[in-house]
Copies of this chain bind each other. A is one copy, B any other.
Amino acid sequence: MAFTASFFFPLLLLLSAISGIASETAIRLPSENLVAGGNRKVRADDGIFCDSWRLAVETNNVGKWKQIPARCAAFVQAYMTGERYLSDMEVIGKLSSEFARSVRLVGDERDAWVFDIDETLLSNLPYYEDTGFGTEIFNETSFDQWVKLAKAPALLPSFSLYNELQELGFTIFLLTGRSEQQRSATEANLLSAGYRNWNRLILRGPSDQGKTAAQYKSEKRSELVDEGYRIHGNSGDQWSDLWGFAVASRSFKLPNPMYYIA
């Protein structure tokens, strides 16, 4: 190992090597002047800022947010309509598939996988394309009109995973923040997008209104566990699809830089 060798080098050489790295990176040498270090700036470039903002969103570092930053509108549009979103989805799909294939199913139809719907099984990109890719505040009325159309296309990597899970013998639950009033439109959309044979489509009923998504979805997962289901996997584009209680053995966070749901 290179380090083992350099460990015996004179200290000056080592410090020189460290210093060479420090000049390009986020680190501060113990011997460096703080102000000098503090003066280094990241290029005030929308691309690099928006990429960091997107990472912060996907890791839940941003906390609650209502709109994407105005300067990131073009970035989010390019991301969502280009190959990066597809690549991110595909890598996560493959990781989900690898995990699924590693699970030893009991075979009693109690081996379960939970999917969210919006931006997980179905894509609302046509709607968000018409409303600024998350630059506008969410408008429930116009979104409900879009849902009624039942025209959201399938997200391909999720569609492939969904079918593979069924072949493997998983029981599939769909757990969505959509309301019971949207059941028939949602079923029609899922069917026309090609999804088949889910065990149960769980929507928000009257008693679920006003709960956070994380609370509502945790409660519903907990009911599945009480029924004897082993929730091996859970796929969703929001951390509130995945966190809380009765969490799956493995949770898969799909990308979504367009909106946030608590």
Q: Please state if B253 and A87 are interface contacts (CB–CB under 8 Å).
A: no
CA distance A259 to B159 in the complex (A): 31
List chain B residues, Cβ under 8 A from A250. 63
Inter-subunit contact B22/A153 (CB<8 Å): yes
A80 partner, pick from B25, B43, B88, B194, beta carbons under 8 A:
B25
Question: Which single member of B6, B29, B30, B58 contacts A55 (CB below 8 Å)?
Answer: B58
Tell me the residues in window 106-151 of chain A with beta carbons closer than 8 Å to chain B beta carbons: 123, 125-127, 129-132, 136, 139, 142, 145-146, 149, 151
Within residues 21 to 74 of chain A, which ones have a CB less than 8 A from any CB in chain B?
21-22, 24-30, 32, 34, 37-38, 40, 42-43, 48-49, 51-53, 55-56, 58-63
A82 x B30 contact (CB < 8 A): no
**Which of A89-97, A177-185, A206-214 touches B?**
A89-97
Give the contacting residue for A255; candidates B25, B55, B83, B95; CB below 8 A.
B55
Q: In the complex, are the beta carbons of A56 and B87 less than 8 A apart?
A: no
- The SS class assigned to the A binding surface is helix
Docked-complex contact A126 and B52, CB < 8 angstroms? no
Count residues on chain A whose CB falls below 8 Å from chain B CBs. Answer: 86
Q: Tell me the complex Cα distance, A73–B189, Å.
A: 42
Q: Within the complex, which residue of B40, B48, B80, B95 is in contact with A61, where a contact is CB–CB below 8 Å?
A: B95
**Contact pick for A4, options B15, B142, B253, CB 8 Å:** B142
Give A253 to B63 CA distance when docked, in angstroms: 12
Q: State whether B26 touches A129 (Cβ < 8 A).
A: no
Q: What separation, in Å, do the CA atoms of A81 and B24 have in the docked complex?
A: 6
Q: How far is the CA of A76 from the CA of B99 in the complex (A)?
A: 24
Q: Is A85 an interface residue (CB 8 A)?
A: yes
CB distance from A124 to the nearest CB of B (A): 9
| Given A1-B142, A130-B1, CB of A56 within 8 Å of CB of B25 | no
Can you report 16 A-B residue pairs in the complex whose CB atoms are below 8 A from each other?
Answer: A3-B145, A14-B151, A21-B125, A24-B82, A25-B85, A26-B85, A27-B125, A28-B193, A30-B154, A30-B189, A30-B193, A30-B194, A32-B153, A37-B156, A62-B95, A63-B99
- Show the binding face of A for B, using Cβ within 8 Å: 1-4, 6-7, 14-15, 17-18, 21-22, 24-30, 32, 34, 37-38, 40, 42-43, 48-49, 51-53, 55-56, 58-63, 80-92, 95-96, 99, 123, 125-127, 129-132, 136, 139, 142, 145-146, 149, 151, 153-157, 159-160, 189, 192-194, 250-253, 255
- Please provide the 4 A-B residue pairs with the shortest distance between their CB atoms, ordered closest to farther: A3-B130, A30-B192, A52-B91, A26-B86
